[in-house]
């Protein structure tokens, strides 16, 4: 732990660890985040969005990401279920005064924790899933040693958080990821395959083959899922019409939108809306 310019030393305090399973229900799970939370995906895959189509990421087994207090997250599953470990923690600062260490609240910029706010930058750390599973199991044992759990969890947190901060500071996105970012920002508009290929630095045919190989879907399928994801979020809100959801999600017209929606979701948009009214 390095001291910052103010002589403060940032640390993380473990609060608790939980195992949570989410099941596919035809619509998104909206989750309000009350505290700093490290999510480690144990099984399954899906999309995570921070109430903003530009801040969307796909997550799967072994992926870890941080959520900050006050954010609202929507989870859309691609698998039947998604199981994860949720590690609740609290960043604080330590300062030595008159020979004693004193804990204080986290200040903006201390240790870089505030830099996670509003970001979704998962890293894959499957090797640490075993540590998380063991920590979870041991925390449920009668008479568990709280001090040992605290130390073990701090070690787990520091390893994952260091990877997240290194990724945020040093890792440059690939051409493919840059093109996906373009999709996420402009999915409401018409997007040409040639534009995406140019962003990725590939020919259209090479881009399509690589995209399918790495993402398991064609660029058109991926873009359609992104639009449907946003459309489902809109249709779950009161007062929205099918025509408005289609236009806001980048579909050409409501009839084409309804056809795609029914094929992919298994019900018409009007039936989807009725779920929330009932």
How far, rounded to the nearest angstrom, does the alpha carbon of residue 118 sit from its chain's CA centroid? 10
At residue 167 the predicted structure's pLDDT band, cuts being 50, 70 and 90, is low
Over range 30-37, report the average pLDDT. 85
Residues 205, 209: Cα–Cα separation, whole Å: 6
- Cβ–Cβ under 8 Å, residues 37 and 67: yes
Give which of 187, 215, 172, 243 is closest to 53, Cα–Cα: 187
What is the pLDDT at residue 216? 86
What is the pLDDT at residue 90? 82
Residue pLDDT, tens place only, 69-108: 888 887 878 788 899 999 998 887 767 677 676 666 655 4
Residues 131, 17: Cα–Cα separation, whole Å: 12
CATH numbers and ranges of domains, the chain: 9-170 (2.60.120.10), 175-277 (1.10.10.60)
Give which of 82, 69, 74, 59 is closest to 33, Cα–Cα: 69
For 55-135, list the strands marked E by DSSP: 56-59, 63-67, 72-77, 81-97, 100-104, 123-124
The percentage of residues in the chain with a pLDDT greater than 90, rounded to a whole number, is: 22
Residues 208, 225: Cα–Cα separation, whole Å: 16
b/e burial code for range 29-54 (CB count within 10 A of at least 16 → b): bebebeebbbbbbbebebbbbbeebe
Q: What's the mean pLDDT when you consider all of the chain?
A: 80
What is the pLDDT at residue 4? 43
Long-range contacts of 103-111 (CB under 8 A, 24+ apart): 104/8, 106/10, 107/6, 107/8, 109/4, 110/4, 110/8, 110/10, 111/4, 111/10
**Which of residues 99 and 242 earns the better pLDDT score?**
242
At residue 118 the predicted structure's pLDDT band, cuts being 50, 70 and 90, is low
Encoding tokens for residue 176? 């493919």
Residue pLDDT, tens place only, 2-28: 444 345 556 777 888 999 998 875 555
First to last CA, the chain: 53
CB atoms within 10 A of CB 99: 5
**Across 32-41, 98-107, 123-132, 245-254, least confident range:** 98-107
Q: What are phi and psi of 86, to 5 degrees?
A: -115, 115
Give Cα separations from 22 to 41, 51, 78, 81, 126 (angstroms).
11, 18, 11, 5, 19
Region class of 202: left (phi > 0), else alpha (psi between -120 and 50), else beta = beta
Highest mean pLDDT among 19-28, 49-58, 171-180, 213-222: 213-222
């Amino acid at each position: 732990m390095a001291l910052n310019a103010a002589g403060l030393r940032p640390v993380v305090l473990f609060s608790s660890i939980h195992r949570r399973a989410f099941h596919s229900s035809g619509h998104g799970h909206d989750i309000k985040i009350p505290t700093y939370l490290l999510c480690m995906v144990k099984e399954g895959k899906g999309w995570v969005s921070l109430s903003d189509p530009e801040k969307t990421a796909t997550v799967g087994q072994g992926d870890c990401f941080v959520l900050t207090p006050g954010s609202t997250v929507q989870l859309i599953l691609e698998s039947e279920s998604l199981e994860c470990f949720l590690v609740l923690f609290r960043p604080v600062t330590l300062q030595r005064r008159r020979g004693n260490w004193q804990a204080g609240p986290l200040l903006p910029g201390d240790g870089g924790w505030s830099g996670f706010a509003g970001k979704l930058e998962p890293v894959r750390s499957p090797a640490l899933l075993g540590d998380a599973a063991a920590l979870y199991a041991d925390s449920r044992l009668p008479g568990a040693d709280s001090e040992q759990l605290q130390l073990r969890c701090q070690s787990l947190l520091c390893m994952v958080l260091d990877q997240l901060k290194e990724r945020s500071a040093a890792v440059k996105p690939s051409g493919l990821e840059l093109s996906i970012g373009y999709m996420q920002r402009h999915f409401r508009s018409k997007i040409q395959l040639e534009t995406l290929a140019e962003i990725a630095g590939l020919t259209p045919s090479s881009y399509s083959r690589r995209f399918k190989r790495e993402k398991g879907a064609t660029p058109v399928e991926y873009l359609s899922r992104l639009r449907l994801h946003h459309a489902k979020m809109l249709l779950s809100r009161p007062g929205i019409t099918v025509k408005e959801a289609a236009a806001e999600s980048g579909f050409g017209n409501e009839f084409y939108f309804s056809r795609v929606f029914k094929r992919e979701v298994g019900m018409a948009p009007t039936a989807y809306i009725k779920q929330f009214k009932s």
